[in-house]
Amino acid sequence: MSIFDSALLQRTQHLLEMIYHETNINVSFEMLTETLLQEMRLESESHQIASHDQVRPSDLWDQSTTVMITYGDSFLAAKEKPLITLKHFLDEHCEGLINSVHILPFFPFSSDDGFSVMDFSSVNEALGDWADIESISQDYRLMADLVINHCSSRSLWFQNFIKGEGPGHDYFYTESLDADLSQVVRPRTSPLLRETQTDKGLQYVWCTFSHDQVDLDFRNPEVLLQFIKIIRQYLDMGVRIFRLDAIAFLWKKIASSSINLEETHNVVRLLRLLIEHAQSDAVIITETNIPNRENLSYFGNANEAHCVYNFALPPLLINTLITGNSHHLKLWLMSMPPAQLGTTYFNFIASHDGMGLRPVEGILADDETQVLVDTLQDFGGRISWRALENEEGEAIQKPYEVNISLFDALQGTLKGKDELGIDRFICAHAIMLGLEGIPGIYVHSLLATRNDYQRMEHTGHNRSINRHQWQYDELEGLLEEKSHHKKVFTELKRLLAIRQQQKAFHPNATQFTLHLGYSIFAYWRQSHDRKQSIFCISNISDVAQEFMLSDINLVSTDDWHDLISGAEMTRQDMLVQLTPYQTLWISNS
């Protein structure tokens, strides 16, 4: 008789059948189910004990939840491991304002700044060790990458694949050169199949991203079992937020796009089920840099990702601020469905990667996207491309992302660079911090880091332009003197401190888009108990704007004030003037 809860057994087995229904596997679904649960150590007794302390979906996050995104070695200090220096930065500069930290892949790797993992179970010795990771997780909610689609060609698994024996010998997806791969969607221009000489002869390995990042074959249940073991280890080390990297590409089929396939969605459902039962306060975030409608599908019916990246927000918000026109941003916001209880959006406007352009396909016209790309190139940005075919079947390239630091991206408008860059930059963050969802702030946005051309030239990769490494002593000096770094950091921390006190900024609080003209972007938030309302109003242009308080229908019996400036908003007939890029958070409490 099984030691596991019958409902859990049935749900797990059903999902496994949905994943592998077209795959010939040499194990029963019942046996596979029990093995998965054993690997996650979900014995019924311990699960029943944990169930008494289950976390309600509404308690997974609140208005104080803010994630800082960083590499493990964003800060360097003499005679100190970078993870220790990172902990110093968090404790000395972010305590009380940042409660969660996403440390980008901290494992041994061979390329792509960590996303070509050689060993999923170890910490890169150049960064520190598991004790350093656990130290951070004790004081901050830790988010880590589950690089689940691929691993390094220098990994032991892939070396065993070449030898034809040992763990990994059957973990990789191979395909024939004759297979119909014409519909495959991928974000790179390199050949899809990597020619590899193995003990079994010449084989062609699927590589979605690069030939050093070899795709794993989840048609083999053993691969799934390995990742369940990895998840269990990460939970034991304090990871509570799992970022499923490149998850949309997980399952492959010939004569298909091999992206967002139903098997992939079922794998996400299975991982959520198992992780929730192992750790009720753990959260899954899917990283799917794809068109908006496809991205939203990863919520499922509140049974897949707890959070999805709001990938359309960065290009739309940057486009809004450099054009001075909020039309597309407003239409997009109006089209976004409120997230169901237990799910929410993960909002960000900059990250370690470039600004993706695929999410605005169907939102911005091609010529508008080209204007955005050209403008950001004028501000020092670089373009990364993806391979496509035109209607005639000819190979073409299309911009995939713009590589640029957010601070440099917002140093001007379509007219060129100006003196309003800092105001524009703060405005972008004030807009993001008020939106429905959890804010994720890239460390180099927090510090207003500029384009790092030297690092980009050294690595030969465009993305390195926004992956600066700070000498900690130098940064400390800049944050003590009158630098733009200090000015931005101080103001962003002030906005975070204000935000975390407002119930109307709960990630799932009510949100409605307001209409105050194209030069003003505005929306309304209301707390779950309906006691607090906040009208978030931003001038997204480089000239002064104005509106009447009567335009937003403030309840006359309440006392209203701007949370940011402290100004009273008392009279319905009051004419409010906004300086370029000024934001108001008009609240009744």
DSSP state of 574: P
Measured at the CA of 4, the angle between CA 277 and CA 144, to 5 degrees, comes to: 25
Structural domain includes residue 553 = yes
Instruction: Tell me the binding residues for substrate.
Output: 112, 150, 243-245, 352-353, 463
Structural domain includes residue 550 = yes
How many Cβ atoms from other residues are within 10 Å of residue 567's Cβ? 13
Q: Print the domain residue range for 548.
A: 510-588
Question: In this structure, are residues 400 and 359 in contact, taking their beta carbons and an 8 Å threshold?
Answer: no
Q: Please state, in angstroms and as integers, the Cα–Cα distance from residue 546 to each residue in 63, 232, 310, 553, following that order.
A: 29, 55, 30, 16
Q: Is the pLDDT of residue 553 over 70?
A: yes
Structural domain includes residue 532 = yes
Q: Is the pLDDT of residue 42 over 70?
A: yes
pLDDT of residue 450: 98
Structural domain includes residue 568 = yes
Structural domain includes residue 121 = no
pLDDT, average across residues 165-179 = 97
The token duo for 18 is 């949905």
Structural domain includes residue 567 = yes
What φ, ψ does residue 144 adopt, rounded to 5°? -135, 155
Instruction: Tell me the binding residues.
Output: 112, 150, 243-245, 352-353, 463
pLDDT, average across residues 178-183 = 95
Task: Of 397, 439, 407, 392, give the one whose Cα is nearest residue 61.
Answer: 439
Question: In this structure, are residues 179 and 254 in contact, taking their beta carbons and an 8 Å threshold?
Answer: yes
Structural domain includes residue 386 = no
Q: Is the pLDDT of residue 8 over 50?
A: yes
How many Cβ atoms from other residues are within 10 Å of residue 179's Cβ? 14
Average pLDDT of the residues of the chain: 94
Q: In terms of DSSP bridges, do strands 239-244 and 560-562 run parallel, antiparallel, or are they unpaired?
A: unpaired
CATH assignment at residue 521: 2.60.40.1180
Q: Is the pLDDT of residue 41 over 50?
A: yes
What residues are annotated to the active site? 245
What's the pTM? Answer: 0.95
Exposure of 457 by Cβ count < 10 A (0-12 exposed, 13-18 middle, 19+ buried)?
exposed
Query: Tens digits of per-residue pLDDT, 251-278?
Result: 999 999 999 999 999 999 999 999 999 9
Query: Tens digits of per-residue pLDDT, 411-424?
Result: 999 999 999 999 99
Domain count along the chain: 1
Can you name the residues that pair with 539 across neighbouring β-strands? Answer: 520
Structural domain includes residue 79 = no
